[in-house]
């Protein structure tokens, strides 16, 4: 396997080539909120295991990254609208916009653990509104926005972020439900069950689309990029959402689905566990056998998030369903997620921060 290379990548938007780095506002990738997702979920895992100082450090990093990315995206929308529109119309990139929804909710869920209920509620409103809007706009644009066919040719791992966005709304709604009173609790219960159900159906649909693309077209190892790990992360966050729903107080919507949701959580955790060796195997094939260079790119955060979410899913599922083996797996896996976060964060800093070479 070749060592990680730190280099700037060239992008082309429209007809004018550019050599600006991908982290500039003009070429900022839509999926960069995966940085917030990965940092927040690893922070949650550390908090659940009582590593409070480390958890707060990652929370601060996630919060700073969130504010910075919101600012950069607003800058891009104002100053480089055509570049953002091009990403929105490109079905290979457009589902990355759902990382904003997921990053907002996962950050909100971590803030809720520290008692920042009002801030978490505001983030839920922002995320749920964005999820509803993007949930209709992105697929409609993907189907109707271009004459290019077949659409299925553009399906890839980033499409699973659509699922993650829905389940992240369910997680945050279920997290806030116990602390709010009155009719708001019923609204949160309905929101959690609704988003979880939609996310589950979307997972099946996206899995079919991606599988058809893989079976219908030649497989280029360069296309098996890190976002394919989100296929496992989408299952893991579905498990987390299910366990949080199972913990909610009695309400008509929750009572009607509690048994189904709790049972599905166990089945989906087993399937997510089964997927992990396959994903590692694809990485070995991609980088070790087919010699695709391991270069830092924002997409690497799409590996960190699933690893962290799988850990948190195991911890929650083990505690709620009294499955000590599952909780032990989640606890041990947390260190895999922490290691992946540390390596990726250092690689990001080395790629972004200019390195000054001494003159000879």
Q: What is the DSSP string of 173-238?
A: HHHHGGG--THHHHHHHHHHHHHHHHHHHHHHHHHHHHHHHHHHS---GGGS-GGGGHHHHHHHHH
Q: Place 14 in a pLDDT band, splitting at 50, 70 and 90.
A: very low
Domains of the chain (ranges; CATH) run 26-352 (1.50.10.150)
Strand, helix or coil at 17? strand
Strand, helix or coil at 359? coil
Q: What global pTM score does this model have?
A: 0.89
Looking at residue 146, its pLDDT comes to 66
CA 65 from centre of chain = 15
CA distances to 77, 210, 276, 325 from 151, in Å = 26, 11, 28, 43
User: Which stretches within the chain are classed as H helix?
Assistant: 34-48, 52-79, 81-89, 98-113, 117-144, 161-176, 183-216, 230-247, 252-283, 301-320, 324-352
> At which residue do the structure tokens 């990652």 appear?
58
Looking at residue 143, its pLDDT comes to 73
Distance CA 217, CA 118 (A): 48
Looking at residue 23, its pLDDT comes to 54
Does the pLDDT value for residue 294 go beyond 90?
no
CA contacts within 13 A on the Cβ side of 303: 22
Q: Place 224 in a pLDDT band, splitting at 50, 70 and 90.
A: confident
Q: What are the tokens at 21? A: 């780095």
Q: What are the tokens at 106? A: 């996962």
Q: What angle do CA 140, 141, 142 make, to 5 degrees?
A: 90
Distance CA 278, CA 265 (A): 21
Distance CA 177, CA 243 (A): 13
Does the pLDDT value for residue 5 go beyond 70?
no
Q: Place 21 in a pLDDT band, splitting at 50, 70 and 90.
A: low
Which tens digit of pLDDT belongs to each residue from 102-153?
999 999 999 999 999 999 999 999 999 999 999 999 988 877 766 567 778 8
CA 122 from centre of chain = 20
CA 205 from centre of chain = 18
Instruction: Please answer whether residues 251 and 177 qualify as being in contact, where contact means their C-beta atoms are separated by less than 8 angstroms.
Output: no
Instruction: Please answer whether residues 261 and 245 qualify as being in contact, where contact means their C-beta atoms are separated by less than 8 angstroms.
Output: yes
Which tens digit of pLDDT belongs to each residue from 243-277?
999 988 888 888 888 888 989 999 999 999 999 99
Looking at residue 230, its pLDDT comes to 92
Instruction: Please answer whether residues 190 and 253 qualify as being in contact, where contact means their C-beta atoms are separated by less than 8 angstroms.
Output: yes
Which tens digit of pLDDT belongs to each residue from 178-193?
888 777 888 999 999 9
Strand, helix or coil at 16? strand
Distance CA 331, CA 314 (A): 7
The residues, any chain, with a CB within 8 Å of residue 29's CB and separated by 6 or more, are 22, 87, 93, 96, 297, 298, 299
Per DSSP, what are the bridge partners of residue 17? Answer: 12
Q: What angle do CA 265, 267, 273 make, to 5 degrees?
A: 100
């Amino acid at each position: 396997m070749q060592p990680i290379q730190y280099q700037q990548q060239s992008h082309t938007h429209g007809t004018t080539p550019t050599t600006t780095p991908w982290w500039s506002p003009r070429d900022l990738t839509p999926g960069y909120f995966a940085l917030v997702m990965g940092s927040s979920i690893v922070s949650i895992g550390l908090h659940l295991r009582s590593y409070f100082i480390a958890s707060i450090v990652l929370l601060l990093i996630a919060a700073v990254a969130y504010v910075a990315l919101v600012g950069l995206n607003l800058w891009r929308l104002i100053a480089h609208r055509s570049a953002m529109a091009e990403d929105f119309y490109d079905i290979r990139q457009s589902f990355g916009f759902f990382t904003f929804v997921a990053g907002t909710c996962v950050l909100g869920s971590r803030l809720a653990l520290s008692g920042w209920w009002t801030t978490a509620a505001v983030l839920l409103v922002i995320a749920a509104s964005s999820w509803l809007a993007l949930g209709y706009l992105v697929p409609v644009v993907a189907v109707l926005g271009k004459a290019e066919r077949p659409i299925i040719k553009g399906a890839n791992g980033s499409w699973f972020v659509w699922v993650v966005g829905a389940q992240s709304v369910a997680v945050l709604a279920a997290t806030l439900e116990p602390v709010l009173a009155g009719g708001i609790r019923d609204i949160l219960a309905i929101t959690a069950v609704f988003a979880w159900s939609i996310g589950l159906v979307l997972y099946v649909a996206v899995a079919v689309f991606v599988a058809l693309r893989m079976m219908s077209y030649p497989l280029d190892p360069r296309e098996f990029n890190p976002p394919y790990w989100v296929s496992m992360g989408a299952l893991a966050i579905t498990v987390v959402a299910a366990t949080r729903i199972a913990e909610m107080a009695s309400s008509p919507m929750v009572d009607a689905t509690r048994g189904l949701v709790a049972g599905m959580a166990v089945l989906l955790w087993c399937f997510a566990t089964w997927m992990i060796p396959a994903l590692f195997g694809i990485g070995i094939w991609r980088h070790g056998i087919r010699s695709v260079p391991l270069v830092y790119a924002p997409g690497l955060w799409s590996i960190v998030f699933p690893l962290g979410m799988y850990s948190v899913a195991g911890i929650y599922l083990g505690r709620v369903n009294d499955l000590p083996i599952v909780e032990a797996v989640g606890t041990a896996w947390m260190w895999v997620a922490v290691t992946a976060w540390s390596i990726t964060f250092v690689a990001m800093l080395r790629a972004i921060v200019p390195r000054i070479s001494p003159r000879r």
